[in-house]
Structure 1
Amino acid sequence: MEVEFNPILAVDSYKTSHKWQYPDGTSHVSSYVEARADHSGLAVPGVVTFGLQAYLRRLAAAPVTAAFIDQARTLFAAHGVPFYEEGWRHILARHGGRLPVEIRAVAEGSVVPPGHALVQLVNTDPAAFWLTSYLETALLRAVWYPSTVATLSWAVKRLLREAWEQTSDAPEASLDFKLHDFGARGASSAETAALGGMAHLVNFQGTDTVEALLAAARFYDEPMAGFSIPAAEHSTITSWGRAGEADAYANMLRQFGGPGRVVAVVSDSYDVFHAVESLWGGRLRQQVLDMGGTLVIRPDSGDPVEVVALVLRLAANAFGTSRNSKGYEVLHPAVRVIQGDGINPATIRAILARMQADRFAIDNIAFGMGGALLQKVDRDTFSWAMKASAIQCHGVWRDVFKQPVTDRGKGSKRGRLALCRDAAGDWHTVPAGSCAEADDLLRPVFRDGALLVSHRFAEVRARAAAALRDAAPRHSGDGPAAPAPVLASAEAG
């Protein structure tokens, strides 16, 4: 369901009453957004900040109008909550409907440890002191979801990069296509698919989520953020009948094969091991070799670790391998494997560990991830929150904070804040003014309805990639990495 973006209505109902709850003399409220803690089980050094610009571009393009105010007045009256119509009329008359706030944020694509201020906002018109916290619902939602998906995707790329360093001679750029987004059908909405799919593309270039491509073009000026290939599904293979399985496969090669081309074929409609050994590696072997491209065999059921291990072994027997400089086997270039069923960070790690034990390079495989990528995250994955930290009353700034005795983890920061890095590269959230303005990484990105900074998608990708290269390895030695905690249950797809 497409809903018109009225910024007045992008709010929790209870916030409409907050204007009357602040102390007399309040003129400014300053709040910040942070990821308070890592509950993901990913052991990442930080969260990948992403997605704020998508919201700010929508906000800049949708100033408050009289029609928006009328709509909100009618809705809230029927809904049973107060509505500060005078305040919104003031914003319309004084500011042309553009929201009088300043938003500062760390550059998107930065990887920042939990516990630091990533966004800070304050009203610029004293009469709109109530507006800062009013924006929490939309602003926090705009940041936590795409940043969490980008972090999950980044963490998987970190796993893949470790395996690449240990087992592969291929260019590092090959990692950009090692995790493919199959999550569109499992996403809760088209907007979820667009934002989450776009967040994945910060780290990779493989996707089947078309909404993500549109979002990257619309919000980050990226003409084409991701790529895909022709691929079969069970309906197209089984429509030939079990007796026609080999004919269905041959048709895929005829229709989509060719020099330099890549085609993926799901091969477990009946018996994936028979398909690899007797069909792809027997009856159709010469056709696979003669097409001049690459066949990607896709298992889609069973235990991912065991199935991938056997499929690789059968493919190696049928098509042969070469040994790279690191002592790992690489399948003939005409054949590769993609595993898209049951994939999450834990199963990826387990599959890679088994491949290393069997002396297969990471070159042989790519992964597809669906609901575990776009849907099995929530705000608590990194304990995202937006909190007021300072208020100006009667011309004097004072700190605002919470410190519940029942949960120290929910304590909040106090005062106006800055985000800095020291000579060692460590991050510090400090009181505003305690570091030079030029060193404050919370830079103005939005003020009084106007976007001040426009990140291009390539810039965001470059920051995330640089942080990946700088990240310290999580294990030592030449053996397979130790298992990581499970982020989410295996995809049943």
Structure 2
Amino acid sequence: MECDTSKRWTLEDVELAEQFLSTHNDNYTNFPFHKELFLKFIKENDGYFPVKIEALPEGTCCHVHTPVYQIIAEGEYTPLVTFLETLLTMIWYPSTVATLSRRARDIIEEAFEDTVDESGYFLLESRLQDFGFRGCTSLEQSIIGGSAHLINFTRSATMSAGYYVQYKINNGKPIGLSIPATEHSVMLSHKTEKKGGFLVIRPDSGNQVEVVLMALRAEEKIFGCDVNKKGYKVMRKCGVIQGDNVTIHSLKAILKAIKEAGYSAQNVLFGMGAGLLQKINRDTMSFATKLSHIRYADGTERNIMKIPTMDSTKISLPECCPPNDPDNLLRVIYDHGKVVEWDDFDTIRKRVAKEWKALPKFYNNISPELKSKIDKVTQELKNN
């Protein structure tokens, strides 16, 4: 059973939970339920979950295996922490999409630096578009994943995300843009495609590298091109968008090929659907919630960590973010019902842009102090 800390529990909620759990255990028997604790915080804390949650500020850039939040409960309410493990669902998915989108931006940005004049750098913001709405399992997923992508790019066909970010997170200021692009039924409904405007060819099917190059060569033959200051060809009033089966790997391959063929990266846009919002999971960036510290009734304390003997990549960390430590970067976002005021989306975008560039590519997350705690817990486990 999972809980949402922002939810205000009522007596009716507890009754329904008790009824559900009365037959939820094996053989339809009673499942353990701390009913008395729920009733207690309904009475004493106006129905809000009696825990404190600390987290890194939205948009903070950090390496995998860095703790991004911690849940703290005290005294008799300690058993309730286990009800909050699935808060992880609200963290791993947007964090993973945002990271994937940012790595895609790195690849495109590198291609721009090599083949695009500085006057055309503004186009970078529109080079990767979110095409993932149709493959989402729900409207909620499209909003969560689509919003994460908008941290890095301004273009998205997932209008649900753009609408949500603008009015719920960014004080009504626009954050995601799109164009009224036609799709095949519109094009095929007319006997001719002769019309004005900027033509963008979408080849899609076939080998991605080959079809993009075919489209560029056809445009060069018909519309012509100019050579920019860096020596690469720029199409005249036309371009190409590849939106079929694009992944971070195929994106890199296409950009490499068009550069070798003498074309500027500004000629090509990408639409990423399943590769952006669906082809990831919780293990992509190793997200997990684990117990790290406990204080017993007699006042003694103990650091705790998980050390699987068959998979060292799944070790958890002992207490590494003491709540009162001035060096702790985690900030209180929820405290027994009180929720902080979140940063607007523009602030988050700026934080990502600043911190991503400053993040070292190789970094040891384990400080000497944390290493000492890990060694101590490991030795205790060996002794037992």
Structure-1 residue corresponding to 2:277: 374
**Structure 1 residue runs of 4 or more that deviate by more than 3 Å after TM superposition:** 170-173, 467-474
> What do the CA deviations read for 1:419-469 (whole angstroms, capped 9, x no partner)?
xxxxxxxxxxxx666xx61x3211112111121241211111112222343
Q: Is the 8 Å Cα contact of residues 446 and 453 (structure 1) preserved in structure 2? A: no
> In the aligned structure 1, how far is the partner of 2:144 from the partner of 2:152?
14
- 5+ residue gaps, structure 2, are 26-30, 363-384
> In the aligned structure 2, how far is the partner of 1:67 from the partner of 1:413?
38
Q: Is the 8 Å Cα contact of residues 120 and 266 (structure 2) preserved in structure 1? A: no
* 1:142 paired residue among 64, 68, 90: 90
* Alpha-carbon offset, residue 229 of structure 1: 0.7
> What do the CA deviations read for 1:187-244 (whole angstroms, capped 9, x no partner)?
122211111111111111111112212432465235332111111222222334xxx2
Q: Is the 8 Å Cα contact of residues 308 and 315 (structure 2) preserved in structure 1? A: yes
TM normalised by structure 1 equals 0.68
- 2:289 is equivalent to residue 386 of structure 1: yes
TM normalised by structure 2 equals 0.86
* 1:395 paired residue among 291, 299, 306: 299
Structure-1 residue corresponding to 2:263: 360
> In the aligned structure 1, how far is the partner of 2:35 from the partner of 2:251?
53
Structure-1 residue corresponding to 2:127: 178
Q: Is the 8 Å Cα contact of residues 206 and 226 (structure 1) preserved in structure 2? A: yes
* 1:133 paired residue among 60, 82, 89: 82
Structure-2 residue corresponding to 1:337: 240
Within 5 Å, give how 1:432-443 maps onto structure 2: 437=326, 439-443=327-331
Which structure: greater strand fraction?
Answer: 1
Structure-2 residue corresponding to 1:120: 70
Q: 1:129 to 1:471 in 2, by over 3 A?
A: closer
Within 5 Å, give how 1:13-162 maps onto structure 2: 59-60=5-6, 62-80=7-25, 81-123=31-73, 125-137=74-86, 139-162=87-110
- 2:298 is equivalent to residue 306 of structure 1: no
> In the aligned structure 1, how far is the partner of 2:337 from the partner of 2:223?
60
> In the aligned structure 1, how far is the partner of 2:125 from the partner of 2:68?
27
Higher relative contact order (CA 8 A, sep 6+): 1
> What do the CA deviations read for 1:33-63 (whole angstroms, capped 9, x no partner)?
xxxxxxxxxxxxxxxxxxxxxxxxx743x21
> In the aligned structure 2, how far is the partner of 1:442 from the partner of 1:167?
41
> What do the CA deviations read for 1:368-407 (whole angstroms, capped 9, x no partner)?
0111110110011111111110001122321111212222
Q: Paired residues, what number?
A: 354
Q: 1:362 to 1:222 in 2, by over 3 A?
A: farther
* 2:342 paired residue among 431, 436, 454: 454
Structure-1 residue corresponding to 2:223: 319
> In the aligned structure 1, how far is the partner of 2:338 from the partner of 2:359?
35
Q: Is the 8 Å Cα contact of residues 65 and 286 (structure 2) preserved in structure 1? A: no
> In the aligned structure 2, how far is the partner of 1:151 from the partner of 1:63?
32
RMSD between superposed Cα atoms in Å? 2.1
Q: Is the 8 Å Cα contact of residues 158 and 468 (structure 1) preserved in structure 2? A: no
Q: Is the 8 Å Cα contact of residues 162 and 177 (structure 2) preserved in structure 1? A: no
SS of the residue corresponding to residue 290 of structure 2 reads: strand
* 1:409 paired residue among 313, 318, 325: 313
- 5+ residue gaps, structure 1, are 1-8, 12-57, 254-287, 419-430, 475-493
- 2:184 is equivalent to residue 234 of structure 1: yes
> In the aligned structure 2, how far is the partner of 1:471 from the partner of 1:82?
45
> In the aligned structure 2, how far is the partner of 1:330 from the partner of 1:457?
34
